[in-house]
């Protein structure tokens, strides 16, 4: 529901968010009250010492004050459990209860201060009593400090500007006033987000590229959240409901029919490309350097590359161009299995729009391999989040050459290094008959794909293997053009190949609709959602049912949704596109090339340590047009998980080929 309005400003917390914090506070305060009562009843005879009257009075008043606070917090919890996210009516008394609760902090702070002053005196009383009172004073100040921290966390810098929306309502704002308020809100939101991003990224420098990335990222966030009035717990509840809804729809779908037993050309092509993916994924992983290697080999990795970290540069290192190698070279050699002399250039220079990369000679496949590193720093995240579209300057017969701005800038940097610095010329002077292959994972996959497009005129035989690339990368025309020489590999429910500005906007609308249709209180949604994520179960047993019982209703605008939108925000309506759907700044973008999807078969349980089995298939880009919610949406993107799954698919295919009589029906599960 919309954030609460207290003291004339909106806060980033809703009236139904106080169930769990309230229960926690009740638990602590009831135990505290029982402890103080026990202390007083057991040792009140020992308070006849000097100053004992003050200490006795302190305990009695604290017991009464705690009793009042416990009653107030109990009322807050009971009221917060009422209603639903879109029906805050039963919780209309919440603001008054919170004012009472906040008012009780004044006597609590005064009494805690007096208690601290009294125990500071040298009372000649029983030591157990004095220590007990010191403990109560400490607990008092811990709770007060925790409350102050909570207030800081839920403080919304835009709350003063949002309050007119939350309190006045759309009927009190005419079109002109609403437009002005909304415009002012967007400007203020962009400023707030830019300040937050600068604070989080205070250590990465202030060059022109960084300033542009700050502004671009702030505008993306402010635009995305400007037309809704959701608090973080609403989003968590919506994601929980969406996951259960998606699982329910999937469980109701009929199983796929068996495929033909005769392996046609597409099947042979799939086998070949899977082998290539498995081979070149080693280079994409090597581009991450020693951090990924140590992560993949926590017990032996440091021993294997420790010598390279400690010794000075050797003559073998001098054969390789590049900078900032440090411990990276040893891990790269271990991951790829190549020799020093096989590397042409290794760079770990990392800035906004400038990615690390390596160039090596792969004699096994007779190729010059360019591997671009994926996201691994704050600079890379800013590159990812520069999500506007810009036109690529490429020589190809494609009308619309637009692409993701941040990634295309990064690809342009690598292009300049490869071409202007003569790195590719050096490589092909050594092996002129070799083919150029460009690989990368995640952000590196997107940069590799755009780099391949930029180099195709000069190197017509270029191939690109993009592992888990972002969806919002290329225009439709470039997507079709890239199918001839780019292969993308996607694992399971990986969120990044489904992530684009358009899909994020679709996710926001689906969250609004599923929240509006749910008739369960938020605390039940979150509790049952946590159980479902941990232990699974039947989605029918969870609060995902629509009040109308018709899944098709999700495409219709709902009255309940209106309470979750900023009233009369001009750019947003159910019949028109949202601010993020701007055809000029945020057009619909697509993933690169042909897509191989490693799809999980059956279920591997709720925990990442469970074994999983995958089948590989060619997939259309439309299969990744919606973000799927689930426990593995993030872990499926990890390069080590992808490498393990790819290895499993290859070994399963080898077992199938060795025992064809037993594998018949799963010919596409290579």
Question: What residues are labeled active site?
Answer: 442, 494
Beta bridge partner(s), residue 463: 437
Beta bridge partner(s), residue 244: none
Closest by alpha carbon to 78, among 68, 93, 65, 66?
A: 93
Is the Cα torsion angle 525, 526, 527, 530 positive or negative in sign? positive
Within 10 angstroms of residue 391's Cβ, the number of other Cβ atoms is 12
- Residue 186, token pair as written in the block: 């967007």
With 0-12 / 13-18 / 19 or more C-beta atoms within 10 angstroms meaning exposed / middle / buried, residue 463 is: buried
* CB 94 within 8 Å of CB 82: no
Closest by alpha carbon to 292, among 632, 639, 641?
A: 639
- Residue 418, token pair as written in the block: 């490869």
What is the chain's Cα-based Rg? 30
End-to-end CA, the chain:
47
Residue showing tokens 């005196």: 121
Backbone angles phi, psi at 189, to 5 degrees: -65, -40
Task: Decide: helix, strand or coil at residue 371.
Answer: strand
Alpha helices in 421-473 (DSSP H): 423-430, 443-455
Alpha-carbon distance of 225 to 190, in angstroms, equals 10
* CB 583 within 8 Å of CB 508: no
Contacts of 538 (CB under 8 A, 6+ apart): none
The two most distant CA atoms of the chain are separated, in Å, by: 99
Closest by alpha carbon to 472, among 619, 571, 368, 591?
A: 591
Alpha-carbon distance of 452 to 7, in angstroms, equals 57
* CB 515 within 8 Å of CB 564: yes
Half-sphere exposure of 658 (CA within 13 A, CB side): 6
Angle subtended at Cα 450 by Cα 369 and Cα 473, rounded to the nearest 5 degrees: 130
- Residue 647, token pair as written in the block: 């290895």
* CB 413 within 8 Å of CB 354: yes
Closest by alpha carbon to 289, among 278, 277, 280, 301?
A: 301
Alpha-carbon distance of 212 to 209, in angstroms, equals 5
Alpha helices in 232-327 (DSSP H): 232-252, 265-286, 290-296, 301-310, 315-318
Beta bridge partner(s), residue 346: 322, 358
């Amino acid at each position: 529901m919309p954030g609460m309005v207290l003291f004339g400003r909106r806060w980033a917390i809703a009236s139904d968010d106080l169930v769990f914090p309230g229960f926690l506070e009740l638990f602590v305060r009831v135990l505290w009250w029982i402890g103080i009562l026990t202390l007083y009843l057991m040792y009140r005879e020992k308070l006849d010492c000097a100053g004992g009257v003050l200490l006795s009075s302190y305990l009695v008043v604290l017991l009464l004050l705690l009793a009042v606070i416990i009653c107030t917090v109990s009322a807050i919890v009971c009221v917060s459990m009422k209603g639903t996210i879109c029906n805050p009516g039963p919780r209309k008394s919440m603001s008054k209860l919170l004012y009472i609760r906040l008012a009780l902090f004044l006597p609590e702070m005064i009494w805690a201060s007096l208690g601290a002053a009294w125990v500071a005196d040298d009372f000649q009383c029983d030591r157990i009593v004095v220590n007990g009172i010191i403990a109560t004073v400490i607990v008092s100040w811990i709770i007060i400090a925790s409350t102050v921290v909570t207030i800081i966390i839920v403080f919304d810098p835009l709350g003063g500007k949002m309050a007119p929306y939350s309190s006045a309502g759309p009927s009190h704002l005419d079109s002109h006033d609403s437009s002005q308020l909304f415009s002012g809100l967007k400007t203020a939101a962009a400023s707030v987000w830019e300040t937050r991003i600068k604070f989080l990224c205070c250590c990465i420098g202030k060059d022109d590229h960084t300033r542009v990335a700050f502004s671009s990222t702030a505008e993306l966030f402010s635009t995305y959240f400007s037309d809704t009035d959701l608090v973080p717990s609403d989003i968590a509840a919506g994601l929980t409901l969406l996951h259960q809804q998606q699982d329910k729809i999937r469980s109701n779908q009929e199983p796929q029919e068996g495929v033909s037993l005769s392996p046609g050309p597409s099947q042979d092509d799939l086998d070949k490309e899977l082998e290539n993916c498995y081979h070149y994924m080693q280079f994409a992983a090597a581009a991450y350097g020693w951090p990924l290697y140590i992560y993949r080999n926590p017990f032996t990795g440091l021993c294997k590359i420790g010598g390279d970290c400690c010794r000075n540069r050797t003559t073998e290192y001098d054969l390789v161009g590049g900078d900032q190698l440090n411990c990276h070279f040893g891990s790269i050699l271990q991951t790829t299995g190549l020799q020093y002399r096989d590397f042409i250039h290794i760079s770990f220079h990392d800035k906004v729009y400038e990615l690390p990369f390596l160039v090596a000679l792969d004699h096994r496949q007779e190729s010059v391999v360019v591997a671009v590193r994926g996201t691994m720093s704050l600079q890379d995240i800013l590159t990812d989040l520069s999500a506007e579209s810009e036109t690529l300057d490429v020589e190809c017969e494609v009308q619309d050459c637009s692409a993701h701005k941040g990634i295309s800038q990064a690809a342009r940097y690598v292009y300049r290094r490869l071409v202007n610095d003569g790195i590719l010329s050096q490589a092909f002077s050594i092996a002129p008959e070799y083919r150029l292959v460009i690989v990368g994972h995640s952000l590196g996959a997107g940069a590799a794909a755009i780099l391949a497009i930029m180099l195709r005129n000069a190197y017509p035989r270029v191939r690109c293997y993009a592992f888990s690339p972002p969806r919002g990368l290329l225009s439709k025309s470039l997507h079709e053009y890239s199918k001839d020489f780019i292969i993308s590999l996607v694992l399971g429910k990986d969120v990044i190949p489904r992530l684009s500005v358009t899909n994020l906007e679709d996710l926001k609308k689906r969250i609004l609709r599923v929240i509006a249709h749910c008739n369960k209180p938020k605390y039940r949604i979150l509790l049952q959602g946590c159980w479902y994520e941990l232990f699974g179960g039947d989605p029918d047993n969870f609060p995902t049912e629509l009040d109308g019982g018709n899944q098709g209703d999700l495409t219709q605008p709902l009255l309940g949704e209106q309470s979750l939108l900023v009233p009369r925000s001009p750019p947003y309506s159910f019949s028109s596109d949202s601010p993020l759907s701007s055809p000029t700044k945020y057009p619909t973008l697509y993933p690169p090339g042909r897509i191989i999807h490693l799809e999980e078969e059956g279920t591997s349980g709720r925990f990442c340590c469970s074994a999983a089995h995958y089948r590989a298939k060619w997939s259309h880009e439309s299969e990744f047009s919606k973000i799927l919610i689930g426990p593995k949406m993030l872990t499926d993107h990890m390069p080590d998980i992808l490498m393990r799954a790819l290895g499993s698919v290859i070994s399963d295919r080898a077992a199938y080929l060795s025992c064809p009589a037993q594998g018949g029906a799963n010919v596409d599960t290579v």
